[in-house]
Structure 1
Amino acid sequence: MSMSSIRKAHGVPAKRGQRVRYTRGGKPPELGTIRSADGGWLYVRLDGEGFTRPLHPTCGLEYLDPHQQTVE
């Protein structure tokens, strides 16, 4: 599934290079960058990590605009 297909299927503004805030069960939110998409998953590199991780487009991801770059 391409990035365009993910946008259409899930109604999210995902695009390569997009900054996101990732929140997962009880842990503090983390910032990251969308690097790619494959098979319905977004591959995100969280700040401070040297690898990408597959994340579902609607589970725990908040899509940030360019002015919203901090963890709150």
Structure 2
Amino acid sequence: MSMDYVRKTYSVPAKRGGRVEYTGGPPRLGTITGTRSGRLLIRLDGERHSSPFHPTWELRYLDQGGGQDG
């Protein structure tokens, strides 16, 4: 499922390259790298690989102007 699907379905400003803050536990910053099965793939700062996150669960979108459609 595409980034457009995630944006429309969950009403979030998700874009590849966009920055987010994961708020489930100690806050951690990360970068959206793509989508998989309706989830966002996010590489948290300091990690080598991206992990799937639900687009509305414990995420705060930090910049809505940067990034690319995907």
Same fold (TM over 0.5): yes
1:47 pairs with 40, 45, 48, which one? 45
Bigger relative contact order (CA 8 A; separation at least 6): 2
Q: Which runs of 4+ in 1 moved over 4 A?
A: none
RMSD: 1.0
Q: TM-score, normalised by structure 2?
A: 0.87
Task: Write the distance in 1 (CA, Å) between the matches of 2:4 and 2:44.
Answer: 22
Alpha-carbon deviations, 1:8-45, whole Å to 9, x = none?
A: 00000000000000011xx2100000000011000000
Q: What percentage of aligned pairs have identical amino acids?
A: 56
Where structure 2 has 5 or more consecutive residues not aligned to the other structure, the ranges are 65-70
Where structure 1 has 5 or more consecutive residues not aligned to the other structure, the ranges are 67-72
